[in-house]
Amino acid sequence: MKQRTTLALIGLAAVGALALSACSGGGGAAAGSKGEELDGLTGDIGAKDFSEQFILAHLTSQLLNAHGADTEANTKLVGSANVRAALENDEFLGYWEYTGTSWITYNGNTAPVQGAEAQFAATKEADAKNGIAWLDPAPLNNTYAFAIRSDKAKELGVTSLSDIASLPIDEQTFCIESEFSTRDDGWPGLKAAYGLDVPDSNVALLDTGVIYTATQKGDDCNFGEVFQTDGRIKALDLTVMEDDKEFFPVYQGAFTLKQKTLDEYPEIADVLAPLSELLTTEEMQKLNALADVDGEDPEDIATDWLTEQGLI
């Protein structure tokens, strides 16, 4: 969260090479069709390696370009740390980040701040010291969650994460991604918070997209790590377990960029504000479903949605 992708140990040189070469061209409206206030603004809009981020990158790039910028969506990097490094090293103009990820993973805090507004304010202040600016956030909260196929949830009588700890050990099986397995706001912290004591053999490490289908099939695990804005939750008839102890931080999404870039082009905030306001958790689920369930291209999804909303 939503930044939370398969961990890849890629050196900064590789990050730079990928950031410069592996780009997806812009689509959408003609350049400057909505104005020229961002004329001279160039660069790549980054993304982590899952559909929501691809869509957000294309939405942002196309909207900026409609106001005179010349940007491209780069959707080829893997891992939160690599995308953040690309921004810090000026290889990305900006990208969408999640408050919980920056607060815990990048700024080294071990405990989340309760409440979306308070978490955003704390994260924005912490990153300001790093020279990184956060624009006004979208309402969406791409937080972690655990889901189980609905018929199995009824069979086991589980509705919350606390319920899982009381199940027979052979029913406490989990599918998680590599990055989640080591994050403070991931598997280690979750086990401690909910008193889960399962052997490693009960935990399958899978790629993000595979977890949803594996959870629906129920062969590798009963409980799969999912993201709250993912459209496959509804499509696969999965039931999300209530985080009754409120362990997971808020992962509110917002566009991040260097403060020096925002100082040079303050109009970026005004251009992106209408986009952010529309991106609720429910709206993001719909957009994500178009990619992950219907198989549509993220660039086309972005173009169609921006056109429907009258933004390009």
| Chain segment 228-275, per-residue pLDDT in tens | 999 999 999 999 999 999 898 899 999 999 999 999 999 999 999 999
Q: Which run of H or of E encompasses 78?
A: none
Mean pLDDT to the nearest integer, 51-74? 98
Residue 22 has pLDDT above 80, yes or no: no
Spell out where 49-143 has E strands. Answer: 70-73, 94-98, 132-134
Q: How confident is the model at residue 45 (pLDDT cuts 50, 70, 90)?
A: very high
Exposed e or buried b per residue across 269-306, where buried means at least 16 C-beta atoms within 10 angstroms of its C-beta: eebbeebbebbebebbbebbbbbbbeebebbebbbebb
Phi then psi dihedrals of residue 310, to 5 deg: 75, 20
Q: How confident is the model at residue 31 (pLDDT cuts 50, 70, 90)?
A: confident
- The CA distances from residue 297 to 24, 52, 137, 221, 281, in Å, are 11, 12, 25, 29, 20
Phi then psi dihedrals of residue 236, to 5 deg: -95, 5
Where does 12-141+250-308 sit in CATH, by number? 3.40.190.10
Same fold, 12-141+250-308 and 144-240: yes
Mean pLDDT to the nearest integer, 117-131? 97
Mean pLDDT to the nearest integer, 279-307? 96
Those residues with Cβ within 8 angstroms of residue 149's Cβ, 6 or more apart along the chain or in another chain: 215, 216, 218, 236, 237, 238, 239
pLDDT at 27: 62
Query: At CB < 8 A and 24+ separation, what contacts does 80-85 make?
Result: 80/3, 80/4, 80/5, 80/48, 80/105, 80/179, 81/7, 81/105, 82/8, 82/10, 82/15, 83/3, 83/46, 83/47, 83/48, 85/12, 85/15
| Chain segment 132-186, per-residue pLDDT in tens | 999 999 999 999 999 999 999 999 999 999 999 999 999 999 999 998 998 777 8
Q: Where are the domains of the chain?
A: 12-141+250-308, 144-240
pLDDT, averaged across the chain: 90
pLDDT at 185: 76
Residue 208 and residue 115: Cα distance in Å, rounded? 27
| Chain segment 195-216, per-residue pLDDT in tens | 999 999 999 999 988 999 999 9
Residue 227 has pLDDT above 70, yes or no: yes
Pick the residue with more confidence: 164 or 20? 164
Residue 289 and residue 70: Cα distance in Å, rounded? 29
Residue 212 and residue 218: Cα distance in Å, rounded? 10
Tokens linked to 21: 């070469």
User: Would you tell me how many other CB atoms lie within 10 Å of the CB of residue 84?
Assistant: 25
Mean pLDDT to the nearest integer, 28-51? 90
* Secondary-structure class of domain 144-240 per CATH: alpha beta
Tell me if residue 135 falls in helix, strand or coil.
coil
Query: At CB < 8 A and 24+ separation, what contacts does 263-266 make?
Result: 265/38, 265/40, 265/41
Q: How confident is the model at residue 15 (pLDDT cuts 50, 70, 90)?
A: very low
Residue 6 has pLDDT above 80, yes or no: no
Residue 7 and residue 56: Cα distance in Å, rounded? 20
Residue 16 and residue 153: Cα distance in Å, rounded? 45
